[in-house]
Amino acid sequence: MKKILVTTGGTGGHVIPAEIVSEHLNTKYEIIFTTDLRGYKFFKSNKIKVKIFDTPKLNINFFLPLKIIKLFYLIIDSIFHLKNEKVTKVISTGGYMSLPICIAARFIGINIYLLEPNLTLGRANKFFLKFSKRIICYSNDLKNFPEKFKNKIKVINPLVFKDFYEIKKKDPNKKNLSLLIFGGSQGANIFDKQINKVLVDINKKYPLRIVQQTSIENIENLRNFYNLNKIENKIFNFEKNFIELINDTDLCICRAGATSLAEISIMNKPFITIPLPTAKDDHQMDNAKFYEKAGCCWILNQKNLNHEILTNLLLKIVKDKSEYINKKNNLKKLNYQNSWNDVNQKLNKIIDEN
C-alpha cells in the first residue's frame, strides 16, 4: 500500500481537515502525519502515526537567525523522514508548520497537494502553490488567489467527518429555544462576557436552553450564572460527541472557522457567526460571507457588537420564525447533493492523478 504524509498543525482548523482527508483515503493509502506541538493535542485518536516537527514561526525578532537554523535542521530531518517512510505524496493543510515537510518534498521530487478550507488563500499555501500539483478548495473564487495558478484548483464540498452524513438529523421541537454557543479551538472570550448577559434578558420573555463552550476554568462560574438566572444549561469545554450537541439545537452562535461552519451547515442548523477579527487576512469573515450569500446565516462584526445589536437580532429570530425557517431551507438546498460518496470519489480521483 502506497504511503501519503499529511502535514498539519497549529489549530483544530488545520488538524480536523487532515483527519477527514485520512478518513477518505485510508482504504487505498497508508496515511501518516506530521504536526507541531500545538497541533498534536487536536488529534482525536492516539492510534495514528504522528511525528512532531516543532517548526518555528519566522517572525522578525532577535531570535530569527536561530529560527532559520532550526528550520534548516528540520528540512534535513524531513528529507530523511520522507525517504525512510517511503512517502509517495504529501498533502498539506497549510500553516507555517508545513514548511519543512513541503520544502523537503519539493527538494526530493515528491508531489505536493495543498488543501485550503478557507475562502481566503493562506500564506503558506500561496508560497507553495507554484510547486504543488493541485490545490483542493471549496470554491473556485478564493481571495488572494493568483490568476495564473487557477488551473491547479480542484473543488470539492467542505470536508466533514462521515458521522455528519450518517446521523439522523432532527429538529429539537422542545418548548425552550435551544442555543449552541462555541468559539472553536481558539476560544472566544467575548461569548462569556457579552452573550450571556443578553441571554438573561431574552430568557425573561422567551425560555431558552443554553449549551455553551467555555474554558475549563470558567465552567463552574458560567454554570452558576445561568442557574442563578434560572436558565436551563449545559456548560462544557470539550465534547467528544459534538455532533450530538449540534443535532440537538435550534440555533448556533459561533466563530467562522471553515470546519465549524461546514459541520453546522451539513446539519442544516441556521447560525449567527461572529468572525474572529484577528484571523489572518480576515479569512473568517470571508468564510462567513460564503454562507451569508447563500442565505444561511447572520453575520455580526465583533468590532461594533454590543448588547443592543445582539438582543435585537435574537428577539427578531425568536419572534418571527419566517427568516429562521428560510435560512434553514436554504441550508437544505445548499447541501442537497452533498454526499460522503461524492466527496470521497472526487478526493480520491484528485490524489490518484499521475
Model confidence pLDDT, tens digit, residues 133-152: 999 999 999 999 999 999 99
Q: What is the pLDDT of residues 58-107, one digit of tens each?
A: 877 777 889 899 999 999 999 999 999 999 999 999 989 999 999 999 99
- Domains of the chain by range and CATH? 3-157+339-352 (3.40.50.2000), 165-334 (3.40.50.2000)
Strand 271-273 relative to strand 297-299, pairing? parallel
Q: Residue 260 has what pLDDT? A: 94
For residue 229, pLDDT beyond 80: yes
Mean pLDDT across 298-326: 93
Q: Share the mean pLDDT of the chain.
A: 92
For residue 250, pLDDT beyond 90: yes
Q: Residue 10 has what pLDDT? A: 80
Question: What is the C-alpha separation between 203 and 269, in angstroms, rounded?
Answer: 21
Residue found by looking up cell 468572525 in the block: 275
For residue 45, pLDDT beyond 80: no
Cell readout for 224 is: 452558576
CA 75 to chain centre: 27
Report whether 22 contacts 63 (CB < 8 A).
Answer: no
- Range with top average pLDDT, 129-133, 168-172, 174-178, 182-186: 129-133
For the beta carbon of residue 60, count every other beta carbon within 10 angstroms. 7
Contacts of residue 324, Cβ cutoff 8 Å, sequence gap at least 6: 251, 270, 317
For residue 186, pLDDT beyond 60: no
Q: Residue 280 has what pLDDT? A: 87
Q: What are the CB-based long-range contacts (under 8 Å, 24+) for 202-209? A: 202/311, 202/314, 202/315, 202/318, 203/229, 203/230, 203/231, 206/177, 206/318, 207/175, 207/176, 207/177, 207/232, 208/176, 208/177, 208/178, 208/179, 208/232, 209/174, 209/176, 209/177, 209/178, 209/179, 209/233
